[in-house]
Amino acid sequence: MSEQPQFTIRVDQNKFLPEGGREVHAIVSVESTGGPPTAARPAAAAAEVIIIDTSGSMSYPDAKLHAAIAAAQAAIDTLRDGVNFAVVSGANSASMVFPAQPALVPADANSRAMAKRELSRLKAQGGTAIGSWLRLADQLFDAHQHGIRHAILLTDGKNQHESAEELDAVLARCTGRFVCDCRGIGTDWEVAELRKVSSALLGSVGLVADPRDLVADFQAMTEDAMGKAVADVSLRVWTPQTAKLRFVKQVMPSVEDLTARRTESGPQAGDYPLGAWGTESRDYHICVEVPAGEVGKELRAAWAKLVVPGGPGRPEQVLATGNVLALWTDDEVQSTRINPRVAHYTGQTELDSAIQEGLQARKDGDLDTATARLGRAVVLADEVGNEAITTLLRKMVDVVDLATGTVRLKKNVDKADEMSLDTTSSKTVRTRKGEG
Partner 1 sequence: MTEDPSVTKPAELSCPICTEVVYAGEDFCEACGHRLNEDAPSPPPEGFSPPPREGLTMKTTPSARTAGHEAASSRACTGCGQKAIDADGYCEHCGLRQPAERDHIEIELPGPGTGPGGDGAAKAPAAAGASDRGKRYSRNEDAIALAVHAQGVAAVVCDGVGSSPHPDDASRAAADTGVAELVALLEAGEDPESATRAAALRAAEAVAALAPSPSESPSCTYVSAVTGPGSVTVGWIGDSRAYWLSPSPDGGAATEAGTESGGGGEGDDGPDTAEFALSEDTEDVTELGPPRQLTDDDSWAAIMVAQGALTEAEAEAHPNAHVITAWLGADADEIRPHVRTFTPGGPGTLLVCSDGLWNYFPAAEDLAALLTGPAGDPAGDPLGTARTLVQHALNAGGRDNVTVAVIPFPGAAPLPTPSTEHDR
Question: Rule CB under 8 A: which residues touch partner 1?
Answer: 239-243, 267-268, 290, 295-301, 303, 323, 325, 327, 329-331, 333, 337, 340
Q: In angstroms, give the least distance from the CB of 341 to partner 1.
A: 12
Which are the contacts of 194, defined by CB distance < 8 A and separation ≥ 6? 155, 182, 184, 205
Which are the contacts of 144, defined by CB distance < 8 A and separation ≥ 6? 45, 47, 84, 104
Residue 50 to residue 71: CA distance in whole angstroms: 10
Q: In angstroms, give the least distance from the CB of 266 to partner 1.
A: 10
Q: In angstroms, give the least distance from the CB of 257 to partner 1.
A: 24
Yes or no: say if 357 and 28 are a contact pair by the CB < 8 Å rule.
no
In this complex, which beta carbon is closest to partner 1, that of residue 267 or of residue 365? 267
In this complex, which beta carbon is closest to partner 1, that of residue 312 or of residue 434? 434
In this complex, which beta carbon is closest to partner 1, that of residue 239 or of residue 386? 239
Residue 361 to residue 357: CA distance in whole angstroms: 6
- For residue 368, with 0-12 CB atoms within 10 Å meaning exposed, 13-18 middle and 19 or more buried, which class applies? exposed
| Residue 427 DSSP symbol | B
Q: In angstroms, give the least distance from the CB of 300 to partner 1.
A: 4
Does residue 267 have a cis peptide bond before it, meaning omega lies within 30 degrees of 0?
no
In this complex, which beta carbon is closest to partner 1, that of residue 102 or of residue 293? 293
Three-state SS sequence of 216-280: HHHHHHHHHHHCCCEEEEEEEEECCCCCEEEEEEEEECECEECHHHCEEEECCEEEEEEEEECCC
Q: In angstroms, give the least distance from the CB of 405 to partner 1.
A: 24
Q: In angstroms, give the least distance from the CB of 89 to partner 1.
A: 53
Radius of gyration of the chain (CA): 23
Q: In angstroms, give the least distance from the CB of 326 to partner 1.
A: 8
Q: In angstroms, give the least distance from the CB of 282 to partner 1.
A: 24
Q: In angstroms, give the least distance from the CB of 174 to partner 1.
A: 36
In this complex, which beta carbon is closest to partner 1, that of residue 148 or of residue 286? 286
In this complex, which beta carbon is closest to partner 1, that of residue 101 or of residue 241? 241
Q: In angstroms, give the least distance from the CB of 301 to partner 1.
A: 6
User: What DSSP string runs through 307-362?
Assistant: EE--BTTB--EEEEEEEEEEEE-S-HHHHTPPPHHHHHHHHHHHHHHHHHHHHHHH
Report the sign of the C-alpha dihedral through residues 364, 351, 324, 203, in that order.
positive
In degrees rounded to 5, what are phi and psi of residue 36?
-70, 160
In this complex, which beta carbon is closest to partner 1, that of residue 301 or of residue 372? 301
Residue 4 to residue 34: CA distance in whole angstroms: 8
In this complex, which beta carbon is closest to partner 1, that of residue 41 or of residue 432? 432
In this complex, which beta carbon is closest to partner 1, that of residue 3 or of residue 298? 298
In this complex, which beta carbon is closest to partner 1, that of residue 295 or of residue 367? 295
Residue 253 to residue 179: CA distance in whole angstroms: 16
418-421 long-range CB contacts below 8 Å, 24 or more apart? 418/359, 419/184, 419/187, 419/191, 419/207, 419/209, 420/207, 420/209, 420/392, 421/355, 421/359, 421/389, 421/392, 421/393, 421/395, 421/396
Yes or no: say if 164 and 197 are a contact pair by the CB < 8 Å rule.
no
In this complex, which beta carbon is closest to partner 1, that of residue 104 or of residue 327? 327
